Chains A and B, each alone.
Chain A
Amino acid sequence: MSAAPGSAMDSLSAALKCNIIPNQEYLLQGSVLDQYVEVLLHRLRGLCDNVDSGPESFHDHELSFALRAQGAGAAPMVLPLRVRRALDSPDSPWQLRYVGQQELGDKNRPTVVRSSIDMACSSTIVDFLTELGCRIDFEYIARGYMFRKGRMKITVSKIFKMGNMNSKPGEGVEPISQSYLVELSVLAPTGQDAIAEDMRIFAEQLRPLVQLEKIDYKRLGNIP
């Protein structure tokens, strides 16, 4: 029994060393106004791989937990952890995801890069995280469509705020804006920067319908 965790750690570190774990997320974000979303979906249907089956729809509830720990220095650490579950398919596993700080890079880098690790888990994850000392930071509902093109994933989703604490998810929710959030992302192992160029080219094809850009979160802090 004692050997099992050790070997798991070994194989994990070996996998890390071989650089086969897709732990970098390349990301571009944008939005489209509600009245033009059909046009965008139509265009995506034409551009993306899953032409025959049509776009995949999703209806997810995302909880963002934060684990706060007093580090050795004065600066406190906040470890964000996101739990996501599909409301439209209750039997699917839940997803736990860590998303790191984003790196914007210089102008030559076409996309935002951030570390990202995700895994499937069961619904007890919420209790587990709570026991660990994580607290819900915020939550939202995302409903929309997912497209694929090669390794790229494109989601077009409406973001809803949870109505109030007592109502069930899916009830009493309100959209937070008159637009759909559009995200273009790829999960890849470290150092595969070539995919970012593909993403830039794909994003060009969606202009001027959607402006997919690198968005600096730090600047967003000042927006009312």
Chain B
Amino acid sequence: MQQREEKQLEFALENIIQRVNDLKSSIASMIMKVENEYETLNWPNFLDNYALISGQLTALSKVLSHDKCPVLRNLTVLPLMLSPERDEQLAQITEGRVTTFAHDLVPDYLRTKLEPMAESKMLQVENKAANLTYENAQKQVAAYQKVVLHVWDIVSKAREEWEVESSSRGNTQQNSSVADTHLLVAAVGMGKGLKMGASPNGGNPTSGGMMVAPQNRPGGAGGSVPIPSNTQSVPMNKAPSTIKTNIKSAAQIHPYGR
């Protein structure tokens, strides 16, 4: 029975020491980075390091709270011998941090109680709590609850609004209009709606239809027949109606105008 417990304790201690060492080395590397690479260190990298340390802390606390881990609080560490002289072995174990196991250091290192200052503060608070009347305590609890509830309400309301907003945005997609896309693309790509010929004052010299007709006539077979067919079958896909009227007017103007 005794032996088994001892074994368990040994195993748990080994485990804890390993975790603590891991933690120590990653903290050391982080300090190293902050001190030496502060110029190149970027934020994501820093956060990675931090996440590593926090993961190691979690692992350590898991080991400590494990069922198989003996209750360390029930064990005592007893200093058998104090000496004011330098202890080489101790210095080696602690990497030179603690060189003597003397009476002025031991109380600090083997402390299991809180520091005197913290202890007195805790005592004060505990006294205050003990002296409180039941009604007063109830009142304070109620007030505190009210505040918490209020904050809770605000948070959940904001969340609700946010969710509604994001879901409605996902569903309706009112940010763009397909009709407008097509209108714009057709305008930029083919000049749809931009040609001067389409405007009411069709006598504009820059209108496409106007310019085309006289130009094609001399080169073409002549007469009005080939012109509309030419113009209509161009790959530019023009609206036929406006062009037809333009060409007619051009054909009428042409013999007299030139």
Q: Is residue A179 within 8 Å, beta carbon to beta carbon, of the partner chain? A: yes
Q: Is residue A68 within 8 Å, beta carbon to beta carbon, of the partner chain? A: yes
Q: Are A181 and B184 in contact (CB under 8 A)?
A: yes
The interface bits of chain B over 186-200 (1 if a CB of A lies within 8 angstroms of the residue's CB, else 0) are 111111111110000
Instruction: Tell which of A32, A209, A218 touches B237, judged by Cβ atoms closer than 8 Å.
Output: A218
The interface bits of chain A over 190-224 (1 if a CB of B lies within 8 angstroms of the residue's CB, else 0) are 00000000000000000011110101011011010
Q: Are A137 and B176 in contact (CB under 8 A)?
A: no
List of A residues within 8 angstroms of B235 by Cβ: 78, 101
* Closest A residue to B216 using CB positions: A68
Given the complex of chains A and B, what is the CA–CA distance between A31 and B194 in angstroms?
18
* Closest A residue to B173 using CB positions: A208
Given the complex of chains A and B, what is the CA–CA distance between A177 and B176 in angstroms?
12
Q: Are A39 and B194 in contact (CB under 8 A)?
A: no
Given the complex of chains A and B, what is the CA–CA distance between A76 and B191 in angstroms?
19
The interface bits of chain A over 67-83 (1 if a CB of B lies within 8 angstroms of the residue's CB, else 0) are 01010000110101000
List of A residues within 8 angstroms of B176 by Cβ: 30-33, 36, 179, 209-211
**Shortest beta-carbon distance from A165 to chain B in Å:** 6
Q: Are A159 and B187 in contact (CB under 8 A)?
A: yes
List of A residues within 8 angstroms of B186 by Cβ: 217, 220-221, 223
CB contact list, B196-227 vs A, under 8 A: 196, 201, 204-206, 208, 211-212, 215-216, 219-220
Q: Are B181 and A68 in contact (CB under 8 A)?
A: no
List of B residues within 8 angstroms of A223 by Cβ: 182-183, 186, 192
Q: Is residue B83 within 8 Å, beta carbon to beta carbon, of the partner chain? A: no
Given the complex of chains A and B, what is the CA–CA distance between A139 and B212 in angstroms?
16
Q: Are A176 and B187 in contact (CB under 8 A)?
A: yes
List of B residues within 8 angstroms of A220 by Cβ: 182, 185-186, 189-190, 192, 237
Q: Is residue A46 within 8 Å, beta carbon to beta carbon, of the partner chain? A: no
Given the complex of chains A and B, what is the CA–CA distance between A97 and B193 in angstroms?
21
Q: Beyond A30-B181, A179-B176, A215-B182, is A75–B233 a contact (Cβ under 8 Å)?
A: yes
Q: Is residue B103 within 8 Å, beta carbon to beta carbon, of the partner chain? A: no
Q: Is residue B180 within 8 Å, beta carbon to beta carbon, of the partner chain? A: yes
Q: Are B230 and A179 in contact (CB under 8 A)?
A: no
Instruction: Tell which of A39, A75, A137, A218 touches B191, judged by Cβ atoms closer than 8 Å.
Output: A137
List of A residues within 8 angstroms of B174 by Cβ: 33
**Shortest beta-carbon distance from A158 to chain B in Å:** 9
List of B residues within 8 angstroms of A140 by Cβ: 187-188, 191, 194
Q: Are A159 and B184 in contact (CB under 8 A)?
A: yes
* Closest A residue to B190 using CB positions: A217
Q: Beyond A66-B208, A76-B230, A76-B234, is A39–B175 a contact (Cβ under 8 Å)?
A: yes
The interface bits of chain A over 142-156 (1 if a CB of B lies within 8 angstroms of the residue's CB, else 0) are 100000000000000
Instruction: Tell which of B175, B177, B192 touches A209, judged by Cβ atoms closer than 8 Å.
Output: B175
Q: Are B180 and A177 in contact (CB under 8 A)?
A: yes
Q: Is residue B236 within 8 Å, beta carbon to beta carbon, of the partner chain? A: yes
List of A residues within 8 angstroms of B219 by Cβ: 70
Q: Is residue A185 within 8 Å, beta carbon to beta carbon, of the partner chain? A: no
Q: Beyond A33-B176, A209-B175, is A135–B196 a contact (Cβ under 8 Å)?
A: no
Instruction: Tell which of B181, B192, B211, B236 touches A78, judged by Cβ atoms closer than 8 Å.
Output: B236
* Closest A residue to B210 using CB positions: A135
* Closest B residue to A63 using CB positions: B206
- Residues of chain A touching chain B, judged by Cβ–Cβ distance below 8 Å, are 29-33, 36, 39-40, 62, 64, 66, 68, 70, 75-76, 78, 80, 101, 133, 135-140, 142, 159, 161-162, 164-165, 176-179, 181, 208-211, 213, 215, 217-218, 220-221, 223
Apart from A70-B216, A140-B187, 14 more pairs, CB < 8 Å = A29-B185, A32-B176, A68-B234, A140-B188, A161-B187, A176-B183, A177-B184, A178-B177, A179-B177, A181-B181, A181-B184, A208-B175, A211-B181, A215-B182
- Residues of chain B touching chain A, judged by Cβ–Cβ distance below 8 Å, are 169-170, 173-178, 180-196, 201, 204-206, 208, 211-212, 215-216, 219-220, 230, 233-237
A-B contact pairs, 14 of them (CB 8 A): A31-B185, A33-B174, A68-B212, A70-B216, A76-B230, A80-B236, A137-B195, A165-B196, A165-B206, A208-B170, A209-B176, A211-B178, A217-B237, A223-B183
